[in-house]
A and B are shown apart, each in its own frame.
Chain A
Amino acid sequence: MNNAFPWRRLCCSALLLTLVFAPLGCKRKSKVRVQQTDEESPRMASTVHMGDPKAETQLVSGFYGIEGNAWRWTQRQFSVVLRPPVGSAAKGATLHVRLTVPDPVIAKLKTVSLFAAISGSTLAPETYTQPGTYTYTRDVAARLLTGESVRVDFGLDKAMPPSGADLRELGLVVLEIGLEPK
């Protein structure tokens, strides 16, 4: 029949494929290939840049994903872990947070206050009444910086609740958080 199914060709092709690929199985010794890993174990950073995906391990909670390769929205409460700078256990350090208070936050909330806490010690809050870019800076006592790492908890007095436009609770936009030696 003119339209007959090409059995013979199909069987020959299958046999050929089997012969071609069978050696692949015979040669394999390991069940899995390995892929290189990055073994250069990084030290914990004293300053965390929000645009750096590698810094995410130091963001404990309260941060959303990176936006614009540079910043992250926060929730009402957020925390990071930082490495105290060299000598800070004796002299103390300065905590700085580079942040932006976006227009919609002020439009909706009028004012927003940021405070920080380290090991139970609360640092003085700062209140923002205008949209713009700010740096929140506070001295941190040496006695709070004696360990290998320090957890810094931040809080806002209020945040934008989830809405139809954005289902996230939104606090501030943060670009960088760090401890600098004195």
Chain B
Amino acid sequence: MTRAQGAARSAAYWIVPSLVCLLIHWRGFTAWFRADDFAWLGVGIHIQNFGDVLGALFSPQAQGTIRPWSERAFFMAGFSLFGLDALPFRIVIFATEFANLALVASIGNRLAGLRAAGFCAAVFWALNGSLVEPLGWVCVYNQVMCGFFLLLAFHFLLRYIETGRRRYNVCQWITFLLGFGALELNVVYPALAAGYTLLCARKYFRRTLPLSAVSIVYVFAHNALAPAQKTGDYAMHFTGAMARTLGKYWTWSVGPTFLFTPLGLPKWMLPAGVAMVSLGLVVFLAAKLRQSGAPRAALFCAAWYAVTIAPVLPLRDHLTEYYVFLPVIGLCWLGGWALAEAWRSGGRARVAATSLAALYAFMMVPEVLAASDWQYRITVRVRNLVEGVARAHELHPNQAILLDGVDTPLFWNGILDRPFRLFGLDHIYLAPGSEQRIDQHPDLGDINEFILPADVTAKALERDELEVYDARGPRLRNITQAYAAMPHDTKLPLRVDAASPLASYLLGPEWYPSDGDHRWMPKRATLRMAAPASVGQKLYLRGYCPEEQLRNGPVTVTVMVNGSNLPPAAIHPGERTFELSFPLPDPVAGSPELQVTVEVSRTFRPATDPRDLGLAFGVFEVR
């Protein structure tokens, strides 16, 4: 082999897995944002001082997670530099994954002692269905980044063992510590390091133990800051369900996610394919363990899978396709090793291993392409909507925007997380009746929060305060004239968003003007809304009470409805966002309307605002 050929082979060794990844996940690379992405993109939009920066970076959010690098800093920096341009985010995500693939190849090579094994492992991982979301959905970057820290730390451990040089141990420690900023899963790294050294480099085993102390401290500190959830989807169940969960994740690891294929294959084929690939891995592992002086690195590959999947097994009610993204690396090393070794030995082993690898690709690739395409298409719909609304606002800066024809996927991916606030738009609503077109998911959010009541819509159209757009097609279509000509319900609403300028006609003169996403009341304020049709309903008040207002103790809120005083409620220090409920007296049921008066026990005047402020609203709702 000439020197040039050697260089070309070496380059191909590092580059081909990344090219395969880019090719297979091209739709993911060209996708836009959706759903939770918008929540994270907005994490820094209210930052005013250094304290806010620290809060945005390190305060627990979304199920108590603290991921300063992979979510907070990534989105804050990305949004401040590039706005809603997804390409730079994608470049970072794919660049990280390319580094991961190189590390997988490098580590696979070291584990098996075969260069081809690392290469095959990297290609197997690039083909795996669990990569679709980490690469195609920006908010799942935490998985990709966590993989980078885990693999890099492990790479440094291997180098430390190979060379004995202390600097590699220091690098391992630094990488491990930084990994906590990517994903909580980083806590398993000490188990990986200890497992490897125990199996393959016992001399170094004791030196890995201090890593565990850090993970233990992290677990306690994290639980103190963000206690584990006891109920809901993220509650942990240490029961026999963990075995069922493992079984499901195993099928998604060696076969396509959700055992889905767009190929219309007979039902038995995918489970059979999963069983065959699993059998191949088990046979290879058993063969390795039977060899005298066997390279126990094969057992470590299986241990990698077990250790990295273990933390998500108790999440019985929250099975997520990308939870196998990192565990499956262990199986890819094992599979890559099996293929490389079988290829070398030739004969039946080569045929069997090649057939299994082809079967794995046959199961994975169509599912990956279909899932990536779905991901891409929904993000394109969301982009059309968001960028169309931005244009509509340019054309009609003084009007609120009402969207008609929003369906289930568009709502949950493009409305729920309020992408419009990212460019300063608070008053984007869904047309009355939209709830009939959208499937409910109460665990994710309340569609009603986004719907403009019919009466408010009709009044706003009369006052020329609203532009109506049809969101059914790829381009927003202004249908204000036709929509205004349609008959509208003129009953008072059961839900009043006091922050909305469109609801001003329902508010008394005491209220201050809307501040976008909230509206301040003075000491006392009034409003009108619909009365409940039946008895036993409650009036709910939702809003915000700043720390400044609560500095002198609880604030008492008194509500009067149609002349009757309701039992007062209090907002206590620490409860900055509040929801108060007041049982409504029976006689108001069936009344033509509710006259609501709200009064707070005191007001405050901030240094930067000359107004006497009571509470910021918020929503009034009868239900």
Contact = CB atoms under 8 A, between A and B. Distances in A.
Q: Is the interface of B mostly helix, strand, loop or mixed?
A: helix
B469 A37 contact: yes
A57 interface: yes
A39 B395 contact: yes
Contact of A57 (B109, B115, B479): B479
Interface of A is mostly: loop
B436 interface: yes
A35 B478 contact: no
Given A54-B477, A57-B482, 9 more contacts: A25-B82, A28-B81, A28-B82, A32-B386, A34-B388, A35-B387, A42-B482, A54-B473, A58-B486
Nearest to B484: A148
B475 A10 contact: no
A41 B478 contact: yes
B366 interface: no
17 contacts: A3-B109, A17-B95, A21-B91, A24-B88, A33-B390, A36-B475, A37-B469, A38-B475, A42-B482, A43-B485, A54-B470, A57-B404, A57-B405, A57-B479, A61-B433, A61-B436, A151-B487
A49 B155 CA distance: 65
B394 A34 contact: yes
Interface in B95-117: 95, 99, 102-103, 106, 109-110, 115
Contact of A17 (B91, B404, B475, B487): B91
Interface residues of A, number: 39
B83 A37 contact: no
A166 interface: no
* Chain B interface residue number, banded: 35 or more
Interface of B: 14, 79, 81-85, 87-88, 91, 95, 99, 102-103, 106, 109-110, 115, 155, 383-384, 386-388, 390-392, 394-395, 404-405, 422-423, 433, 436, 469-470, 472-473, 475-483, 485-487
A151 B387 CA distance: 33
A148 B102 CA distance: 67
A128 B620 CA distance: 50
Given A10-B102, A24-B88, A39-B395, A33 B479 contact: no
A69 to B, nearest CB: 15
A149 B95 contact: no
Q: Kindly name the residue among A3, A35, A36 whose own CB sees the greatest number of chain B CB atoms within 10 A.
A: A35
B477 A32 contact: no
A44 B485 contact: yes
A17 B92 CA distance: 10
Nearest to B107: A5
A17 B88 CA distance: 10
Contacts of A17: 91, 95
Contacts of B388: 34-37
Given A37-B477, A38-B477, A24 B485 contact: no
Nearest to A81: B486
Contact of A33 (B155, B387, B392): B387
Interface centre among B95, B383, B404, B479 (most CB of A within 10 A): B479
A14 interface: yes
Contacts of A32: 83-84, 386-387, 390, 422-423
A34 B479 contact: no
Nearest to A4: B106
A119 to B, nearest CB: 10
Give the top 3 A-B pairs by smallest Cβ distance, nearest first: A25-B81, A31-B83, A35-B387
Contacts of B423: 30-32
A35 B109 contact: no
A83 interface: yes
B88 A21 contact: yes
B172 to A, nearest CB: 14
